[in-house]
Structure 1
Amino acid sequence: MTSLPLTLRHELPVDAAAIERLHERAFGPGRFARTAFRLREGVPPDPALTFAAHVGTFLVGSIRVTPVMAGGHGALMLGPLTVDPAFEGRGIGAALMNRSIEAARTEGHDLILLVGDAPYYARFGFRVIPPGQLVLPGPADPARFLALELVEGVLAQRRGAVTAIKSGA
Structure 2
Amino acid sequence: MYQVHQEGSEDRWEVEALYDLCFAPGREALSSYRLRDDAAPIAQLCLVARDSDAILAGAIRFWPIAVGDHKALLLGPIAVHPTRQGEGLGGILIRESLGAARALGWQRVVLVGDEPYYGKFGFEVLEGLEMPPPTNPQRVLGLALVPDAWRDVRGVVRSGSA
TM-score (norm 1): 0.91
* Aligned counterpart in structure 2 of residue 110 of structure 1, from 107, 111, 114: 107
The within-5 A match list for 1:8-47 is: 8-47=4-43
1:79 is the counterpart of 2:85: no
Using the aligned pairs only, state the percent identity: 39
1:86-144 Cα shifts (integer Å, max 9, x gaps)? 100001100000001000110011000000011000010000012xx111122111111
In the other structure, the counterpart of 1:134 is 129
Aligned-residue offset at 1:78: 0.2
Secondary structure of the corresponding residue to residue 163 of structure 1: strand
CA distance in 2, matches of 1:138, 1:72: 21
Comparing 70-79 with 96-105, greater Cα deviation is found at 70-79
Range 156-165 or range 78-87, more displaced: 156-165
Superposition RMSD in Å: 1.3
Q: Give the structure-2-normalised TM-score.
A: 0.95
Matched, 1:64 2:80: no
Task: Give the number of aligned pairs.
Answer: 161
Matched residue type, 2:154: R
CA distance in 2, matches of 1:42, 1:140: 19
Q: Secondary structure at the match of 1:23?
A: helix
CA contact (8 A) 2:38 2:159 kept: no
**Preserved contact between residue 72 and residue 161 of structure 1 (Cα < 8 Å):** no
